[in-house]
Amino acid sequence: MLSVRHTWTMRLGIAHHYGWAIAVSATDDHDVVDRRRIELLDRDLPSAPIHHEGGTHAMHHTGQLRSDEALADLVAEVRASVVRATRAALRDLVDTVSEPYKVIAVRDWPDTFPTDIATLRRPPYESRADSVMYCQVLAAVGAERGWDVYRYDAKTVESQAASQLGARAHAVLHGPRAPLGSPWSNDHRIALAATILSVSGSA
């Protein structure tokens, strides 16, 4: 008798930082298949170009304050690097995990978030602009692969997932530490929680 191989549908949860992210791959049943740190930026480029190079706080600058035009050029260079690095990271992930992916879950951002540099470099946007860029690139690169994009609230995602899981919450969210070992951090739980919510929240 021939055995039938079961194919899982994978969901990828991302908890990102400036230049890197924690990526957790889980099944629809919330079993963690892969967890890793992925790099989102080439070396020798600022990971937060607007906040660190173009914001209003002098303490964040590494040199003379850039003009809008110069800052726009730098942001474009960083974004292009993030696109390349993200594509490479997701390609490596897919090559390692043999199961097909359906969803990428990334931190939410306002649809009305501005795009012009002159506005982005001023409060209240300059402290969020770089993070939004990473979210947008992660979502776009995932969509390139045909994945659904689920956007989550990082402040509430873990509590929402726990509420949805009920009595299983601690076992599902904290349980992977035992078989996988350290690290299993807050970032890992957030990324896993995002995949859990995406089961009912994505198309």
Tell me: the pLDDT tens digits for 101-147? Answer: 999 999 999 999 999 999 999 999 999 999 999 999 999 999 999 99
Q: What is the pLDDT of residues 56-95, one digit of tens each?
A: 655 455 567 889 999 999 999 999 999 999 999 999 999 9
Cis peptide before 49 (omega within 30 of 0): no
Give the ranges where 59-128 is alpha helix by DSSP (H).
68-96, 117-120
Q: Which of 71, 81, 46, 78 is nearest to 121 (CA)?
A: 71
How wide is the angle at C-alpha 164 spanned by C-alphas 100 and 14, nearest 5°? 45
pLDDT over 70, % of the chain: 91
Q: Which residues contact 55 (CB under 8 A, 6 or more apart)?
A: 61, 121, 126, 127
* Residue linked to tokens 């800052």: 71
CA distance linking residue 15 with residue 21, whole number of Å: 6
What is the side-by-side strand order in the sheet with 101-107?
Answer: 32-39, 20-27, 10-17, 101-107, 148-152
The model carries a pTM of 0.92
Identify the CATH assignment for 10-201 out of 3.30.420.10, 3.20.20.140, 3.90.190.20, 3.30.750.24.
Answer: 3.30.420.10
